[in-house]
Amino acid sequence: MWSCNTADKFNVVILYDCFTSVGRAMAAYLHLTRELENELTPELRIWRVDVATSPECATQANGDIEAP
């Protein structure tokens, strides 16, 4: 593992279609954040697929997915 003086930000976007899949994704996310807690600062965004693809939210969801 590499180290740095300040925690760098990293974006995490979870797209899910059912409750079971978001639960599994969150478990993986929590494991990742525990492993990297001193090195990286996560920014989590969670989108249900039907909401993310709706005309009202698609622009914001795409922005979250494309964020550096």
Please report, in tens digits, the pLDDT of each residue of the chain (68 residues total): 444 445 688 889 999 998 888 999 999 999 989 988 888 888 999 999 999 999 999 999 999 989 77
What's the confidence (pLDDT) of residue 42?
A: 87
What's the confidence (pLDDT) of residue 29?
A: 93
What's the confidence (pLDDT) of residue 7?
A: 62
What's the confidence (pLDDT) of residue 48?
A: 95
> Where in 18-66 does DSSP place strands (E)?
40-48
| Torsion sign (Cα): 65, 61, 9, 14 | negative
